[in-house]
Homo-oligomer: A and B are copies of this chain.
Amino acid sequence: MSASTTGIVREMALKARKAAAALAETTAAVKNAALIAMADRLEKNKAALQGENQRDMDAGAQAGLSTAMLGRLELTDKVIAQMANSLRQVARLPDPVGEIFDMVVRPNGMRLGRMRMPFGVIGIIYESRPNVTADAGGLCIKSGNAVILRGGSEAIHSNRKIASLMAEAGAGAGLPDGALQLIPSTDRALVIEMVKLEGLIDLIIPRGGRQLIEMIMQHSSIPVIKHLDGNCFVYVDDDADLAMAREIVLNAKVQRPGVCNAMETLLVHSALKETFLPEICRALADKGVEIRGDERVRQAFPQAKSATGNDWRAEYLDLILAVGVVDSFDEAVDKINAWGSHHTDSIVTRDHRKAMRFLSAVDSGCVFVNASTRLSDGEVFGLGCEVGISTDKLHARGPMGLRELTTAKFILLGDGHVRT
């Protein structure tokens, strides 16, 4: 770590710590007004924001980023409107802070329940898409947490502008200074500094590839909720409604292939290997999808390339699909649990018993019956937007919204109760 950067994040965290204490007692009215002010500020400064975004786009083009990557980076009018709308949606959601639930009267007459509280200070580390700055920042503020954001280097100018507009609007609406901060440098040493600030930062949420997350796991002394890759599976059962299966498979793969909830592996029951299997491969190929299949897939659809071991575990984020044939429901479940990334997996079947068994047996954050994996999304789930999609098991699985950004402590209301 260079001497010039040492301590930068620590200073930010100390400021965030103070802000968090104030933010925990800030009313929903003030937080909501701040979120709406942030949305307005982003829209009013669209031109300036797009100017900064252009600097990132130019640098990205020069650095040879793919068209897909550049697409994720670009702040179009529509993306800016979506960021603003997400903030307004989060403002409309109920405030989770202070919510009391599961209150019971125990046999000795004391009242026992739970109360939701902010974590305190949350550090979020993410790559590429600058809208995460607005979504994750807004959710942290609404849930009463101070947040330190660290976006990807390719979006640094866009992220700086979004964060400064949001921080200004928040301060104007009465949020404490330091409630929302962005690490202004792309120095990786600062990420390492950040994840070692135990006692100042309460939770680290990394969104990104395996390399980023392994680096964080190696260095972090703070609890981490991992948002790893999405190798999402669809299993088309022999009892599937085949017209429905076709719609779901096409939607899951081609509606937006560059995101984590797009299907990356399709499993088809062997009873369908001469009917549905070649038809769906043809339909996918017609949409530009490259099929990588096992032996029976290549028999059914000779244009398919040969799938290697890596293909079953790959997150392509592209118009590529691994396709395999399985001989039973159990084989499908075993392969999903072994090869998937525990993100989102779906079965297409008309058989009730298999539908219910799939829900129990698949060990993923989101388990779907007769639905596209693309529906795995905070906004679709009614969370306003999302911090990301947890692939961990502890605390939060699947899309993380306001509730997942809180903790639940026990509260006890006694009247002189003692232990006897």
Contact = CB atoms under 8 A, between A and B. Distances in A.
Interface of A: 24-25, 98, 104, 106, 110, 112, 115, 117, 119-120, 202-203, 217, 221, 223-225, 241, 244, 247-248, 251-252, 255-256, 355, 359-361, 363-372, 374-377, 380-382, 392-395, 397-399, 407-419
A386 to B, nearest CB: 12
Contact of A412 (B203, B251, B368, B415): B368
12 contacts: A117-B363, A202-B393, A247-B418, A248-B416, A368-B412, A369-B412, A371-B414, A375-B414, A375-B418, A395-B395, A397-B410, A398-B409
A330 to B, nearest CB: 11
A213 B203 CA distance: 18
Contacts of A251: 418-419
Nearest to A214: B221
Contact of A372 (B117, B217, B410, B418): B418
Contacts of A225: 394
Indicate how many identical chains form the complex: 2
Contacts of A413: 355, 369-371
B418 A368 contact: no
B399 A410 contact: yes
Nearest to A106: B382
Contacts of A117: 360, 363
Nearest to A371: B414
A412 B366 contact: yes
Contacts of A241: 416
Chain B CB within 10 Å, residue with most, of A24, A217, A374, A417 = A417
A419 B372 contact: yes
A413 B393 CA distance: 21
A409 B365 contact: yes
Contact of A24 (B360, B368, B369): B360
